[in-house]
Amino acid sequence: MGEFDLIARIRSAATTSDCVALGIGDDCAILRPDPANELVVTTDMLLDGRHFRLGEATAEQVGYKSLAVNLSDIAAMGARPLAAFVAVSLPRGDAEAIAMGLLRGMDPLARRFGVALAGGDTNAWDGPLVVGVTVVGECPTGAAIRRDGARPGDAIYVTGPLGGSLLGRHLRPEPRLDEASRLRDACTLHAMIDISDGLLSDLGHICAESGGLGAVIDIQAIPIHRDALALARRSGRDGLDHALHDGEDFELCFTAAACELKSLLAAVPTVRRIGVITAGGGLRLRDHDGTTHAATPRGFDHLR
Amino acid sequence: MGEFDLIARIRSAATTSDCVALGIGDDCAILRPDPANELVVTTDMLLDGRHFRLGEATAEQVGYKSLAVNLSDIAAMGARPLAAFVAVSLPRGDAEAIAMGLLRGMDPLARRFGVALAGGDTNAWDGPLVVGVTVVGECPTGAAIRRDGARPGDAIYVTGPLGGSLLGRHLRPEPRLDEASRLRDACTLHAMIDISDGLLSDLGHICAESGGLGAVIDIQAIPIHRDALALARRSGRDGLDHALHDGEDFELCFTAAACELKSLLAAVPTVRRIGVITAGGGLRLRDHDGTTHAATPRGFDHLR
DSSP string, A14-50: S---TTEEE-TTSSSEEE---TTEEEEEEEEEEEBTT
* pLDDT score of A232: 96
CA dihedral for B281, B283, B286, B292, sign (positive or negative): negative
Contact B28 A134 (CB under 8 A): no
* Cα B93 from Cα B105, distance rounded (Å): 20
Contact B130 A45 (CB under 8 A): yes
Taking only residues 172 to 211 of chain B, the set having a beta carbon closer than 8 angstroms to any beta carbon of chain A reads: 192-194, 209
- Each residue of A252-293: pLDDT tens digit? 999 999 788 999 999 999 999 999 999 988 999 999 999 999
Q: Which one of A47, A87, A132 has the shortest CB-CB distance to B125? A: A47
Q: How many angstroms separate the Cα of A31 from the Cα of each of A34, A97, A154, A251, B74?
A: 10, 29, 37, 29, 13
What is the pLDDT averaged over residues A58-64? 98
Our CA-based measurement puts residue B205 at a distance from the nearest CA of chain A, in whole angstroms, of 9
Q: Which one of A38, A88, A126 has the shortest CB-CB distance to B32? A: A38
* pLDDT score of B10: 84
Q: Which amino acid is at A25?
A: G
* pTM of the predicted structure, to 2 decimals: 0.95
Q: Which amino acid is at A2?
A: G
* pLDDT score of A221: 97
Alpha-carbon B105 to chain mean position: 17
| 3-state SS assignment for residue A119 | strand
Contact A147 B44 (CB under 8 A): no
| 3-state SS assignment for residue A254 | strand
What is the pLDDT averaged over residues A115-134? 96
In tens digits, what is the pLDDT along chain B, a chain of 304 residues? 677 788 888 888 788 888 999 999 999 999 999 999 999 999 999 999 999 999 999 999 999 999 999 999 999 999 999 999 999 999 998 999 999 999 999 999 999 999 999 999 999 999 999 999 999 999 999 999 999 999 999 999 999 999 999 999 999 999 999 999 999 999 999 999 999 999 999 999 999 999 999 999 999 999 999 999 999 999 999 999 999 999 999 999 999 997 889 999 999 999 999 999 999 889 999 999 999 999 999 866 665 5
Query: What number of other Cβ atoms are within 10 A of residue B115's Cβ?
Result: 29
Q: Does A304 touch chain B (CB under 8 A)?
A: yes
Sequence-ordered strand ranges (E) for B146-300: 155-158, 191-194, 214-218, 252-256, 272-278, 283-286, 292-294
What is the ipTM for the molecules in this complex? 0.95
Nearest to B165 by CA among B270, B284, B65: B65
Strand partners, B188: none
Q: Does A94 touch chain B (CB under 8 A)?
A: no
Say if residues A262 and A187 touch (Cβ distance below 8 Å).
no
Query: What number of other Cβ atoms are within 10 A of residue B33's Cβ?
Result: 20
Predicted confidence band at A13 (pLDDT cuts at 50, 70, 90)?
Answer: confident
Query: What number of other Cβ atoms are within 10 A of residue B301's Cβ?
Result: 15
Query: What number of other Cβ atoms are within 10 A of residue B94's Cβ?
Result: 14
Q: Which strand (E) or helix (H) includes residue B244?
A: helix B239-245
Q: Which one of A141, A194, A304 has the shortest CB-CB distance to B27? A: A194
* Cα A160 from Cα B55, distance rounded (Å): 47
Percentage of residues of chain A with pLDDT beyond 90: 89
Contact B22 A144 (CB under 8 A): yes
Say if residues A55 and A87 touch (Cβ distance below 8 Å).
no
CA atoms within 13 A on the CB side of B275: 28
Q: Is pLDDT at A304 greater than 60 in this prediction?
A: no
Contact B148 A32 (CB under 8 A): no
* Cα B30 from Cα B23, distance rounded (Å): 7
Predicted confidence band at A299 (pLDDT cuts at 50, 70, 90)?
Answer: low
Give the DSSP letter of residue A55: T
User: Which residues, 6+ apart, have CB-to-CB distance to A42 below 8 Å?
Assistant: A70, A73, A74, A134, A135, A137, B27, B28, B29, B85, B119
Our CA-based measurement puts residue B289 at a distance from the nearest CA of chain A, in whole angstroms, of 34
* Cα B30 from Cα B48, distance rounded (Å): 31
CB pairs under 8 A between A and B: 234
* Residue of chain B with shortest Cα separation from A74: B28
| 3-state SS assignment for residue B251 | coil
Q: How many angstroms separate the Cα of A75 from the Cα of each of A32, A137, A161, A224?
A: 20, 9, 17, 22
Q: Which amino acid is at A24?
A: I
* pLDDT score of A1: 64
| 3-state SS assignment for residue B78 | coil
* pLDDT score of B1: 64
Query: What number of other Cβ atoms are within 10 A of residue A155's Cβ?
Result: 18
* pLDDT score of A7: 80
Strand partners, A90: A124
Q: Which strand (E) or helix (H) includes residue A98?
A: helix A95-112
Q: Which strand (E) or helix (H) includes residue A202?
A: helix A199-209
What is the pLDDT averaged over residues A184-202? 96
* Cα B272 from Cα B160, distance rounded (Å): 7
* pLDDT score of B304: 56
Q: Does B120 touch chain A (CB under 8 A)?
A: yes
Q: Is pLDDT at A249 greater than 60 in this prediction?
A: yes
